[in-house]
Amino acid sequence: MDDVVNLLPDRIPVLVVDDDETVIQVTRLVLSRYRFEDKALDLICACSAQEAIKILSQRGDIAIVLLDVVMESDDSGFEVVSFIRNNQHNYTTRILLRTGQPGLAPERQVINEYDINDYIAKTEATTDRLNLSITNALRSYRDILRAEHLARRVVTAELKQQQALKASKAKSAFLAHMSHEIRTPLNGIIGMTDVLADTDLTADQQAFLEDIHNSGRALLGIVNDVLDLSKIEAGKLELDPRPFRLMDMLAEVNSMFHASMLSKSINFYQEISPVVPEYLIADRIRLQQLVMNLLGNALKFTPEGGDIRLLLSVDEERSDKQDLSLILTISDSGIGIDESRLGQIFDAYQQAETRTSRIYGGTGLGLSLCRQIVQLMSGDIFVTSSLGKGSVFIANIVVKRAQGEKELDYESSTSRLAIEGMKVLVAEDNPINRRVIEMLLKKLSVEVSVVDDGLQLLNCIDEINPDLILMDCHMPVLDGFAATKELRKRGMKKPIYALTAGVSNEERAECKNIGMNDILTKPVTLQSLKLALQKATEA
């Protein structure tokens, strides 16, 4: 109510229209002390319909028109009414009719049609009667202002919501595009180092190659952190829990850090509690990202010859037959963190000290992303540390125990034999990535065919008759989505795996909806291809 009252000016404009100067003067006198919710009236006078129309044309803030019916003509007052309602389309201003000739009073139909608030015969226009009519009219005027004000707020809120949704969609599209554009060349760099590693190299060349590979992986980690943090801020990052073998994930992490730890002579200790299940259901990518960021942080700030420990255990009191409270502890003997800075260590773009980034590098995003991932996994993360005495990071997350572990084991000898001689058709428009995937697949003794786009794939699918299709999602001519739809429309049942550099939740859902069986995220590795082939043999 108070907000609406404030919409009324301190002096409320009221237009008095009458061709009798005496009536105007008496009206001024009667209404001079009138107040509506502590606000006085600003009386504006006109002696004819034409003068009133001129004033109304110039002012859009008139609250009430106190209008004589008979002036220049018998229906002059109705000309003013028609101008307000029909010409100006103004249904906010209140209209009070009064006349000294009751025989010319308007019909009830006219009063209703033109939304006239009251009709007063001048012979009945006592002070109390006039004040009452003005009060009722102003209450109606105030209620209309309230409704218009609320309607504008609703429209403004809806407009802002639409603008925010549009901005969110634009940001999501930008992130997806940047993810694709950045990860695609990185796939070529990292993939080529994997291929080159199996060729005849000198010791120096092998060392140089490891440097290239590690640098590529480090750059990929930074890119992932930046893009994922942006997704979290936009509310676009969601978990994708799937069954996986925990030791496989840890082995992959260890292989990525092996060379860096070796170069610094780091003593690395890994301990897995016996109560930790071999198989879990969780978002493997995010869990691996969590472990990598915490290990990378420890490695960055631990001097040569230092110690880093990784411990995985279970909080059995907070676990049950389905949900598992997994505790990840990573400790180091590094430079430590001043206790006064511990409260900010998980904030985005923050490091322990400004000079830390200059000495040790880093973006200040890794730990912030760790906290976001842990919170998505219904957990918490904290750190204990002091300067010169190392740090201990403890993350508690909720995962699920996997059922039917044997069905998840794609490393069986049967599976390894099954992939040899498989026919795999790859659709990939980037020539470097196409060559990387082709060479990696050949290392797995697979018969490989490659095409540049979805249209070429459709044209050769019957001739090749592949056991598995690896389909890039974003290609010219015909993209992977359209090609997959066409294949499923033709009734093809063979497994199709998406090849993509940017797996948003929307894109993952689209892949599933059109009939793709799984997703391979770039950069593709020999291990990820091997697991994909083994899963395809079980399909």
pLDDT of res. 113? 72
Q: Which amino acid is residue 508, in one-letter code?
A: R
pLDDT of res. 357? 45
Which whole number is the average pLDDT over 153-166?
90
pLDDT of res. 410? 47
Q: Phi/psi class of residue 278: alpha, beta or left (left: φ > 0; alpha: ψ in -120 to 50)? A: alpha
pLDDT above 50: residue 326: yes
pLDDT of res. 109? 63
Would you place residue 502 in the very low, low, confident or very high pLDDT band (cuts 50, 70, 90)? low
pLDDT above 70: residue 415: no
Residue 522's CB: how many other CB atoms inside 10 A? 28
pLDDT above 80: residue 350: no
pLDDT above 60: residue 356: no
pLDDT above 60: residue 360: no
Q: Which amino acid is residue 182, in one-letter code?
A: I
Length reported for the chain: 539
CA-to-CA separations, 133 to 25, 49, 65, 315, in angstroms, rounded: 18, 21, 12, 75
pLDDT of res. 154? 92
3-state secondary structure of 100: coil
pLDDT above 60: residue 152: yes
Q: Which range (107-116, 286-295, 419-428) has the least confidence?
A: 107-116
Q: Which range (183-197, 371-385, 463-477) has the least confidence?
A: 183-197
Rounded to whole angstroms, how far apart are CA atoms 372 and 233?
10
- pLDDT tens for 261-287 read 998 999 999 999 999 999 999 998 889
Main-chain phi, psi angles of 304, to 5 degrees: -60, 140
pLDDT above 70: residue 103: no
The residues of the chain that CATH labels 3.40.50.2300 are 2-125, 413-538
If you average pLDDT over each of 179-193, 203-217, 296-310, which comes out highest?
296-310
**Token output for 142:** 């105030």
Which whole number is the average pLDDT over 6-21?
91
Residue 12's CB: how many other CB atoms inside 10 A? 23
Sign of CA dihedral 37, 40, 44, 48: positive
pLDDT above 60: residue 495: yes
Rounded to whole angstroms, how far apart are CA atoms 430 and 22?
91
- pLDDT tens for 332-348 read 999 988 887 787 788 76
Quickly list H helices, 19-126: 21-31, 49-58, 76-82, 108-113
Would you place residue 110 in the very low, low, confident or very high pLDDT band (cuts 50, 70, 90)? low
pLDDT above 70: residue 351: no
**Percent of the chain residues past pLDDT 70, beyond the cut:** 88
Mean pLDDT score of the chain = 85
Report, at the CATH architecture level, how domain 2-125 is classified.
3-Layer(aba) Sandwich (3.40)
pLDDT of res. 414? 44
**Token output for 154:** 């609703």
Q: Which range (77-86, 272-281, 402-411) has the least confidence?
A: 402-411
pLDDT above 90: residue 327: yes
Which whole number is the average pLDDT over 429-456?
92
Main-chain phi, psi angles of 527, to 5 degrees: -65, -45
Would you place residue 354 in the very low, low, confident or very high pLDDT band (cuts 50, 70, 90)? very low
Main-chain phi, psi angles of 501, to 5 degrees: -95, -10
Q: Which amino acid is residue 383, in one-letter code?
A: V
Which whole number is the average pLDDT over 296-307?
92
Neighbouring C-alpha atoms within 13 Å toward the C-beta of 21:
0
Which whole number is the average pLDDT over 34-52?
94
Residue 275's CB: how many other CB atoms inside 10 A? 11
pLDDT of res. 517? 92
Would you place residue 407 in the very low, low, confident or very high pLDDT band (cuts 50, 70, 90)? very low
pLDDT of res. 240? 80
CATH fold label, 413-538: Rossmann fold (3.40.50)
DSSP strands (E only) in 254-390: 267-272, 279-282, 307-314, 323-332, 380-385
Q: Which range (158-167, 336-345, 348-357) has the least confidence?
A: 348-357
CATH of 238-408, one of 3.40.640.10, 3.30.360.10, 3.40.190.10, 3.30.565.10: 3.30.565.10
Rounded to whole angstroms, how far apart are CA atoms 118 and 266?
92
Sign of CA dihedral 300, 301, 306, 312: negative
The residues of the chain that CATH labels 3.30.565.10 are 238-408
Residues 6+ apart with CB under 8 A from 476: 429, 453
End-to-end CA distance of the chain: 66
